[in-house]
Structure 1
Amino acid sequence: MIEYPPKVTEKELVKAYLYLSSNTNKDISLLIERINENYEYWSEVKYKTIPSSFSHEMLWPCVKASRIRNRILVWDQYGINISITNQMQRICHELDMNFGGSWGNGSLIPEENKNQYLISSLMEEAISSSQMEGAATTRKVAKEMLRKKITPRDKSQQMIFNNYQTINFIVENKEKPLTEDMLLKIHRLMTDGTMENPEDAGRFRLNDDVVVEDGITHEVVHTPPSYTEIPNFVKHLCDFFNEERARIFIHPIIRGIIIHFMLAYMHPFTDGNGRTARALFYWYMLKQGYWLTEYLSISRIIARSKKTYEKTYLYVEADDNDIGYFVAYNLRVLELAFKDLQHYICRKTSRKKQADIFLRIGNINERQAEIIRMYYENPKEVITVKDVQIKFGVTPTTAKSDIVGLLNIGILSEISFNKVKKGYIKGNNFDELTSSLL
């Protein structure tokens, strides 16, 4: 559990407002600015070093007052509010430039590799989002299942398969408005074959038996609003999602994070709320033109700091439904996801340069050069035509043609798995043809 912040009385708030408006101490002003940069919670604020002329008893009321005077009510019914900070606006601006702006001309992602990168990122997002909800399998096994289109063998694999299918469905339908039917469709895709009661897939909960528990202590940390409020909530959610010219402007990225939070807050389904909430955020970002979202694995970053992610939900409820904690955390997640993508592209570009060396063998294409690089790094590699087809996003005919070309020059050799299925290993001429190039 978390420590609740001290209640700030109206008298203390007034005193804090007066202090902030008349304060000439730059150290105090800078301290409060730094606290608000990361939207720090009481458990961190109470340990801050302060000037001798100030007191800890005044610090928290001053932090609260600084946030309240910039407060926006974002969800009237449940009093969900936020103070938009300078740091939030700065991050949103940088993400605007990166997710839909200066990188939009393809300078970050090489055109010839876009499909390959996209498939990989969609897989990563599906795997990480499912693992956060208890899917117990390795990334290697999960990726092999998705690449080779193997039928899921257990609930964990089914969760990942469903998540992957759902993300692809969202990409194909990203321009459509959110409706109740679409929300139920997404939940059905996400949870098919994984629910304790199969009828609950694609259906709102019918009672108030759902609570959110601490994973270790099993203590109840959140009791969602009554199921009777779900119809009105869903209508409001769809309006908020589809709204184009709101009376009060909220940056689209922050609106997307609010959508993520609100679905998890309401918990309209018996299970799969977290996965569905993250899918809605993903959809909203694409709908708003943030095309680079398709190439990010946002859930992988969240999974690395899952405890912090879960705590931000608790901070919101503990501190007067101030969603700033959740927004600040998720903006940092997006920053890190973008950096991860940059590093991933750099690694892939470096590998491509290595693969391009093998083009000097002559009469081979870039895909074949990449296949050679794979065998150079892992001499015991075994691939099939289907592996090549999925890895490069090409037709079976093209994949077979690439393999045959490498067989003809002795780079690969064919082996039989059975009477029908063939595999390909490093060929007899591999070392001779590649040794002089490196």
Structure 2
Amino acid sequence: MIRTDSLQITPEILGLITRVDEFKGAWRALGTLAPDRLSALRRVATIESIGSSTRIEGSRLSDRDVERLLSNLQTNTFTTRDEQEVAGYAEVMDLVFASWQDISLTENHIKQLHQNLLVYSDKDTRHRGHYKTSNNSVAAFDEKGNPLGVVFETASPFDTPRLLTEMVTWFNDERAANRLHPLLLIGIWVVVFLEIHPFQDGNGRLSRVLTTLLLLQAGYAYVPYSSLESVIEQSKETYYLALRQTQGTIRSDAPNWQPWLLFFLKALAQQVHQLNRKLEREKLVLAALPTLALQIVEFAREHGRITMAEAIRLTDSNRNTLKQHFRTLVEQGHLVRHGAGRGAWYELR
């Protein structure tokens, strides 16, 4: 049974919820960009989410590696475990974005999402879509993918089916009764899911997929356009500390939800902040840039980078004219240059 009678709504928690909900309410007005611009924002956010979520669990692929892999997903040939995990995460994210209204929170759907998440992972063939049969634990990894140690122990395989049934029933009952604010409800559900750690592997990634699903179902429609996973990756130490502090109290008579909920709500607020900055930049870029420069920026945003050769093919302009536009875009802070000469390439700042 999940106990929330000890939950305290502090001014800080209330302020964070208010900040996120204000953006949620303003999203329609803020999000009136052209469909192609929204599509480009979503593509960048998806790449960041996939890269960050898999790196939190030890992957070594950069966002650029992820972008390159996504452009070849139709090959279905992924030689390394990192590539297999990225491909699976990409597919399950696409599924959630396309069908979130039809994916009710049931054990069968959770198992199906887990199976989809690990569909390309060779070493996970036997246990994907099935609850764990041996003990596991939450481990932390550094930026190079090396394990740092165990963060906390998790539920036993014997207790897992019962605990999952209880938490799914609790969430659906609470959501129907509307007793808790949706962000608090989702935050508590996610940390309990991680405390149980129901599958042999893939629990962290699945928890972030489920977070996105539940936020979309709660009306936070901006979620696909800004990466919550990248916010978590940038705060990994705080993430693991908050998990540890709350996890150890969940089965007590007075769970301490505060550490995790503060981290979760701050991450959501940072996600909103980053999206707001992107939207403001979009407006400034659209209003101020010449057509040729705008084409360059849009290509870089959609593909993650741009070279002189790509700009020539894109715009059918001469090299000297494009050099001047690239120089101006770098000076104005829109682009960052990497390399020199004909090997140079540019990405958004």
1:95 aligns to 2:20 (yes or no) = yes
Which of the residues 302, 306, 309 maps onto 1:381? 309
CA contact (8 A) 2:139 2:151 kept: yes
1:210-236: per-residue Cα shift (whole Å, max 9, x none)?
123465886544222222222222222
2:242 is matched with which residue? 312
* 328 and 195 in structure 1: CA distance in 2 versus 1, 3 angstrom threshold: farther
Counterpart of 1:180 in structure 2: which amino acid? Answer: E
Structure 2 residue matching 1:290: 3-state secondary structure: coil
Q: CA deviation at 1:241?
A: 3.6
Q: CA deviation at 1:185?
A: 1.1
1:326 aligns to 2:250 (yes or no) = no
Aligned partners of 1:291 and 1:226: how far apart in 2? 36
Query: TM (normalized to structure 2)?
Result: 0.78
Q: CA deviation at 1:91?
A: 1.5
Instruction: Note the 1:12-411 alignment, pairs <5 A.
Output: 75-76=2-3, 81-99=6-24, 101-105=25-29, 107-112=30-35, 113-149=37-73, 151-176=77-102, 177-194=104-121, 196-207=123-134, 209-213=135-139, 220-243=150-173, 249-318=179-248, 321-353=255-287, 355-358=289-292, 370=298, 380-382=308-310
1:1-38: per-residue Cα shift (whole Å, max 9, x none)?
xxxxxxxxxxxxxxxxxxxxxxxxxxxxxxxxxxxxxx
Counterpart of 1:276 in structure 2: which amino acid? Answer: L
* 187 and 206 in structure 1: CA distance in 2 versus 1, 3 angstrom threshold: same
Aligned partners of 1:80 and 1:218: how far apart in 2? 35
Count residues in correspondence. 312
Query: TM (normalized to structure 1)?
Result: 0.63
> RCO higher in 1 or 2 (8 Å CA, sep ≥ 6)?
2
Structure 1 residue matching 2:126: 3-state secondary structure: helix
Counterpart of 2:84 in structure 1: which amino acid? Answer: Q
1:225-280: per-residue Cα shift (whole Å, max 9, x none)?
22222222222232234336555711101111112111110011011111111111
Residue segments in structure 2 that go unaligned for 5+ positions in a row: 329-349
CA contact (8 A) 2:130 2:199 kept: yes
Aligned partners of 1:284 and 1:307: how far apart in 2? 25
2:342 is matched with which residue? none
Counterpart of 1:161 in structure 2: which amino acid? Answer: A
Aligned partners of 2:258 and 2:173: how far apart in 1? 21
1:53-111: per-residue Cα shift (whole Å, max 9, x none)?
xxxxxxxxxxxxxxxxxxxxx814xx895322122122112211212x12223x24513
1:161-213: per-residue Cα shift (whole Å, max 9, x none)?
21121111112221131122210111111122336341111111123x21234
Aligned partners of 1:241 and 1:291: how far apart in 2? 20
1:417 is matched with which residue? none
> What is the RMSD computed on CA atoms of the aligned residues?
3.3
CA contact (8 A) 1:312 1:326 kept: yes
Aligned partners of 1:299 and 1:116: how far apart in 2? 18
* 350 and 146 in structure 1: CA distance in 2 versus 1, 3 angstrom threshold: farther
* 87 and 137 in structure 1: CA distance in 2 versus 1, 3 angstrom threshold: same
Counterpart of 1:328 in structure 2: which amino acid? Answer: L
* 350 and 381 in structure 1: CA distance in 2 versus 1, 3 angstrom threshold: farther
Aligned partners of 1:220 and 1:430: how far apart in 2? 54
* 372 and 86 in structure 1: CA distance in 2 versus 1, 3 angstrom threshold: closer
Structure 2 residue matching 1:83: 3-state secondary structure: coil
Identity between Structure 1 and Structure 2 (%)? 19
* 87 and 358 in structure 1: CA distance in 2 versus 1, 3 angstrom threshold: same
Q: CA deviation at 1:312?
A: 0.8
1:33 is matched with which residue? none
Structure 2 residue matching 1:196: 3-state secondary structure: helix
CA contact (8 A) 2:57 2:140 kept: no
Structure 2 residue matching 1:193: 3-state secondary structure: coil
